[in-house]
Chain A
């Protein structure tokens, strides 16, 4: 497959929805649903000290993803990453060896951008803005800037983000764990959830990572007792409620379903892709309305995903739910409709979210077990699950759901076999 032969292959054959029609979410029929696909995934190793630049990690991941897809750098005409990423699209394009770009985009809100990079890429492909878009994220999050530490820079700028942080950081609520702990405390109060319920998520992640050679915690499972013995970080969160800090890079290649069919790997269809921001939204601190027991922005994503894909929660074979901190996995299960509100602690009991359970979550080990790649490694795992190539394969051929960062404006995907 060369750049020339695929130049127009991604152009949709018809435009089905007038852009002026402000139809309800449930009635939308987006261009991207079922017309675009993930054709390749790539990653570096996941470590605590990569020993190389974030740009180099990005280039390695992008090249690996293109190799996986059977595409060359010259095929790439679009790049998408996180606004938090240190490596600009043009820098990655230069180093990868891509030529002209017709689409480049940055997504904000930290890990909430993960699935949104694919969403952007799919929209670009579906509209003909680009044909082959690579989504990437590379970071030295352990050896370089550690997100779990207090970022003084986050309250330096007089912009809306700095101003928002100004209501929390100076008061001492200044880390991601603390912001999640605040919501988790109220969730526990409202529904009777316990630290052990959060621990069940950690145990499942570590169990899955233990059989994933790419995972940092390969062959190192934990027990619930170990979770309960781990030290407090920010009560009610313990150390083992918190994800890892990881160096590494991940990339995902998006193109049209038609073009993907002619590539090296079986296409992984993007059945649904959506972003979501809730009313009165803040970044990690949406504390000023609502009841602090859910993730309204994930509810916005969920409604779109089910509508676009014409699926129900019961159809999902396995889900990769963003797990930087365990409490938000419980809330996501509720927002996504896998269980009623307040019922997640019962839903996950008895190993239901472990391999072999009713809804295995994060078969790769998640960000607690495999690595913290800002959610991008979860997309890669979802692709492997659809392809049937995961080391922890969940049986069946049903769709796979992936979510992005929680507590922030976020995004989600449903991926299916062609």
Chain B
């Protein structure tokens, strides 16, 4: 157990700002305390892996459904028995990213169970006593040896692998605590996870500009100190002039704006004759019907019908120049929006584009366009073939935008069996310095997995998910995922590794990778 010179975890501001405790005032006392912490850590580590802690329930469909509902993961592998029967798994399986859920302590853990023997719990208590009362999870690297089937009862062994500190981080001085967790089904090792948290002494001064998402497993009554001032600074940076203009909304048009908030491009569809129209209005422009005007969610692809490069005069909320494109959707109607991700001289009439969503604030999400690099051969709907075969290294995944409503935060926290109050109790979260309740790391792990499997299709086999948390993602924010296929082929040289980032208004919420097995691999 040593204090390492470089700690690659998220909340540190920069290597240059990190200092060891010995450099600060009161170094004598700090040194003694550090020695005690390290001694405790040494003792816990020497004890080796904990005895197995069993999941309360076996892998089961109701829990899986709660999870897929909350994460919004529609992969039929998890809930559609007929589909699953035809898959390589031959039966329903659990989402790999759920592995940690099965052994979460839950709201009412059995008394005495786990906590005493849990190396992480022991280390947390030692750090609590030393004044490092707050905790954030910073890293989670899961490897799945196989998919889990219903009725398997998992057990978890946990081992303390590293304690390093004290470190000065953006959140305050603290210690990084790393554990290795292994899940067994019977005697079979089915999954592993390296898990790192920062246990820190909350800074007494103004909250930092960036902060990691608070941890989710330690249930000690600690304070999650999070960013509260960064939001305004971030939004100010995106708008150099006046506030962005907002669209008026009427009863005829509100579905469209609710759609963008939900990450959907909704096009008015007449329930009488099926005709589409945009912009929306009270009547069908084709048959005249006033009743039964609904909408359909556009695929989000289209081609540039015309465009401009606006350079002058200033436009409130925009940094000029901007490209604004009138796009003809694959479904027919035309939609106007800003086009990003291309230089003015790269845009042309007929250029394939794909929708994206531009969060402005808590209430407004604008539609946008980005070049559709997947247009053409792969524009067909997701199929059961593994698209990793055709996705070249360097290829970008389409962006995915998720409106992180309070419902998403709470439903996902509960679906991941994480009852730490910062994920469902706003008062509690605010008392801890947070702006609101925020996503837990198990949810973020699930969202990263969903983002990649939505793109790769239900036949894709997830081998590993490894993420590092950055800023918290509060309720009301919008998460925007981007990804690309790396040229990393994994340990066996046949896998595909997808690099993923998820950003929100405060900055990068998550960076990580998802490793997919090559097509044709067995489950």
Q: Interface on A for B, CB 8 Å cutoff?
A: 148-150, 152, 155-159, 162-175, 178, 181-183, 185-186, 189, 231-236, 280, 285, 287-288, 292
Residue contact A185 to B247, C-beta cutoff 8 Å: no
Which of A157, A185, A189 has the most CB atoms of chain B within a 10 A radius of its CB? A185
Which residues of chain A are within 8 angstroms of B317 by Cβ–Cβ distance?
A: 170
Which residues of chain B are within 8 angstroms of A170 by Cβ–Cβ distance?
A: 244-247, 317, 360, 364, 366
Residue contact A150 to B279, C-beta cutoff 8 Å: no
Cβ of B334 < 8 Å from any Cβ of A?
yes
Contact partner, B313, options A148, A165, A173, A181, Cβ 8 Å: A148
- Known A156-B248, A170-B245, A288-B334; contact A164-B308, beta-carbon cutoff 8 A: no
- Known A149-B313, A155-B245, A233-B312; contact A171-B306, beta-carbon cutoff 8 A: no
Residue contact B349 to A178, C-beta cutoff 8 Å: no
- Known A152-B316, A172-B315, A178-B324; contact A185-B307, beta-carbon cutoff 8 A: yes
Residue contact A186 to B324, C-beta cutoff 8 Å: no
Shortest C-beta distance, B37 to chain A (Å), equals: 53
Residue contact B307 to A174, C-beta cutoff 8 Å: no
Closest residue of chain B to A280, judged by CB?
B285
Closest 7 CB pairs of A and B: A166-B247, A235-B309, A186-B306, A181-B308, A158-B248, A162-B248, A173-B324
Residue contact A171 to B337, C-beta cutoff 8 Å: yes
Residue contact B336 to A287, C-beta cutoff 8 Å: yes
Q: How far is the CA of A195 from the CA of B360 in the complex (A)?
A: 35
Which residues of chain A are within 8 angstroms of B36 by Cβ–Cβ distance?
A: none
Which residues of chain A are within 8 angstroms of B252 by Cβ–Cβ distance?
A: 163
Q: How far is the CA of A149 from the CA of B368 in the complex (A)?
A: 23
Residue contact A292 to B305, C-beta cutoff 8 Å: yes
Residue contact A167 to B349, C-beta cutoff 8 Å: no
Which residues of chain B are within 8 angstroms of A231 by Cβ–Cβ distance?
A: 311-312
Cβ of B249 < 8 Å from any Cβ of A?
yes
Which residues of chain A are within 8 angstroms of B249 by Cβ–Cβ distance?
A: 158, 163, 166
Residue contact A185 to B315, C-beta cutoff 8 Å: no
Cβ of B507 < 8 Å from any Cβ of A?
no
Q: Interface on B for A, CB 8 Å cutoff?
A: 242, 244-250, 252-253, 277-279, 285, 305-318, 322, 324, 326, 333-334, 336-338, 344, 349, 360, 364, 366-368
Contact partner, B248, options A157, A172, A182, Cβ 8 Å: A157
Shortest C-beta distance, B340 to chain A (Å), equals: 10
Q: Can you give 6 contacting A-B residue pairs, CB < 8 Å? A: A150-B245, A155-B248, A163-B247, A167-B336, A168-B336, A292-B305
Given contacts A156-B248, A185-B306, 19 further A-B contacts (CB under 8 A): A150-B245, A150-B315, A152-B242, A162-B248, A170-B364, A175-B315, A178-B308, A178-B324, A181-B308, A185-B307, A189-B349, A231-B312, A234-B312, A235-B310, A235-B344, A287-B336, A288-B277, A288-B278, A292-B306
Closest residue of chain A to B337, judged by CB?
A171
Contact partner, B324, options A152, A162, A182, A233, Cβ 8 Å: A182
Q: How far is the CA of A235 from the CA of B310 in the complex (A)?
A: 6
Closest residue of chain A to B318, judged by CB?
A172
Which residues of chain B are within 8 angstroms of A150 by Cβ–Cβ distance?
A: 245, 313-316
Q: How far is the CA of A149 from the CA of B250 in the complex (A)?
A: 26
Shortest C-beta distance, B227 to chain A (Å), equals: 27
Contact partner, A171, options B278, B285, B349, B367, Cβ 8 Å: B367
Residue contact A186 to B245, C-beta cutoff 8 Å: no
Residue contact A167 to B247, C-beta cutoff 8 Å: yes
Q: How far is the CA of A155 from the CA of B317 in the complex (A)?
A: 14
- Known A167-B336, A173-B324, A189-B349; contact A234-B248, beta-carbon cutoff 8 A: no
Shortest C-beta distance, A291 to chain B (Å), equals: 9
Residue contact A163 to B250, C-beta cutoff 8 Å: yes
A-B contact count (CB 8 A): 125
Contact partner, B336, options A173, A183, A185, A186, Cβ 8 Å: A173
Which residues of chain A are within 8 angstroms of B367 by Cβ–Cβ distance?
A: 171
Closest residue of chain B to A242, judged by CB?
B312
Residue contact A155 to B307, C-beta cutoff 8 Å: no
Residue contact A163 to B324, C-beta cutoff 8 Å: no
Residue contact B310 to A288, C-beta cutoff 8 Å: no
Residue contact B279 to A288, C-beta cutoff 8 Å: yes
Which residues of chain A are within 8 angstroms of B313 by Cβ–Cβ distance?
A: 148-150, 175
Q: How far is the CA of A76 from the CA of B222 in the complex (A)?
A: 82
Closest residue of chain A to B246, judged by CB?
A170
- Known A150-B315, A182-B306, A235-B308; contact A158-B245, beta-carbon cutoff 8 A: no
Which residues of chain A are within 8 angstroms of B366 by Cβ–Cβ distance?
A: 170-171
Residue contact B306 to A172, C-beta cutoff 8 Å: no
Which residues of chain B are within 8 angstroms of A183 by Cβ–Cβ distance?
A: 306
Closest residue of chain A to B278, judged by CB?
A288
- Known A170-B246, A173-B324; contact A233-B307, beta-carbon cutoff 8 A: no
Shortest C-beta distance, B343 to chain A (Å), equals: 12
Shortest C-beta distance, A13 to chain B (Å), equals: 43
Q: How far is the CA of A172 from the CA of B239 in the complex (A)?
A: 13
Closest residue of chain B to A181, judged by CB?
B308
Residue contact A172 to B253, C-beta cutoff 8 Å: no
Contact partner, B250, options A158, A171, A280, Cβ 8 Å: A158
Residue contact B247 to A173, C-beta cutoff 8 Å: no
Shortest C-beta distance, A84 to chain B (Å), equals: 19
Shortest C-beta distance, A289 to chain B (Å), equals: 8
Q: How far is the CA of A162 from the CA of B249 in the complex (A)?
A: 9
Which of B246, B314, B336 has the most CB atoms of chain A within a 10 A radius of its CB? B336
Which residues of chain A are within 8 angstroms of B349 by Cβ–Cβ distance?
A: 185-186, 189
Q: How far is the CA of A167 from the CA of B250 in the complex (A)?
A: 12
Which residues of chain B are within 8 angstroms of A157 by Cβ–Cβ distance?
A: 248
Q: How far is the CA of A173 from the CA of B336 in the complex (A)?
A: 8
Residue contact B312 to A172, C-beta cutoff 8 Å: no
Shortest C-beta distance, A173 to chain B (Å), equals: 5
Q: How far is the CA of A165 from the CA of B249 in the complex (A)?
A: 11
Which residues of chain A are within 8 angstroms of B248 by Cβ–Cβ distance?
A: 155-159, 162-163, 165-166
- Known A149-B313, A171-B324, A182-B326; contact A234-B308, beta-carbon cutoff 8 A: yes
Shortest C-beta distance, A245 to chain B (Å), equals: 11
Shortest C-beta distance, A237 to chain B (Å), equals: 8
Residue contact A155 to B279, C-beta cutoff 8 Å: no
Which residues of chain B are within 8 angstroms of A158 by Cβ–Cβ distance?
A: 248-250
Which of A158, A163, A170 has the most CB atoms of chain B within a 10 A radius of its CB? A170
Closest residue of chain A to B369, judged by CB?
A171
Contact partner, B315, options A164, A167, A174, A287, Cβ 8 Å: A174
Closest residue of chain B to A155, judged by CB?
B245
Closest residue of chain B to A162, judged by CB?
B248
Residue contact A152 to B279, C-beta cutoff 8 Å: no
Which residues of chain A are within 8 angstroms of B307 by Cβ–Cβ distance?
A: 182, 185
Residue contact B322 to A172, C-beta cutoff 8 Å: yes
Which residues of chain B are within 8 angstroms of A159 by Cβ–Cβ distance?
A: 248
Residue contact B315 to A155, C-beta cutoff 8 Å: no
Closest residue of chain B to A156, judged by CB?
B248
Residue contact B308 to A173, C-beta cutoff 8 Å: yes
Which of A157, A168, A169, A171 has the most CB atoms of chain B within a 10 A radius of its CB? A171
Which residues of chain B are within 8 angstroms of A169 by Cβ–Cβ distance?
A: 245, 247
Residue contact B310 to A152, C-beta cutoff 8 Å: no
Q: How far is the CA of A156 from the CA of B249 in the complex (A)?
A: 10
Which residues of chain B are within 8 angstroms of A171 by Cβ–Cβ distance?
A: 324, 336-338, 366-368
Q: How far is the CA of A72 from the CA of B121 in the complex (A)?
A: 96
Shortest C-beta distance, A180 to chain B (Å), equals: 9
Q: How far is the CA of A171 from the CA of B334 in the complex (A)?
A: 14
Residue contact B306 to A164, C-beta cutoff 8 Å: no
Which residues of chain B are within 8 angstroms of A234 by Cβ–Cβ distance?
A: 308-312
Residue contact A166 to B324, C-beta cutoff 8 Å: no
Contact partner, A287, options B246, B316, B326, B337, Cβ 8 Å: B326
Q: How far is the CA of A292 from the CA of B246 in the complex (A)?
A: 26
Shortest C-beta distance, B21 to chain A (Å), equals: 51
Which of B305, B324, B334, B364 has the most CB atoms of chain A within a 10 A radius of its CB? B324
Q: How far is the CA of A189 from the CA of B351 in the complex (A)?
A: 13
Q: How far is the CA of A165 from the CA of B250 in the complex (A)?
A: 13
Which residues of chain B are within 8 angstroms of A181 by Cβ–Cβ distance?
A: 308, 310
Which residues of chain B are within 8 angstroms of A292 by Cβ–Cβ distance?
A: 305-306, 326
Which of B245, B285, B334 has the most CB atoms of chain A within a 10 A radius of its CB? B245
Which residues of chain B are within 8 angstroms of A185 by Cβ–Cβ distance?
A: 306-308, 349
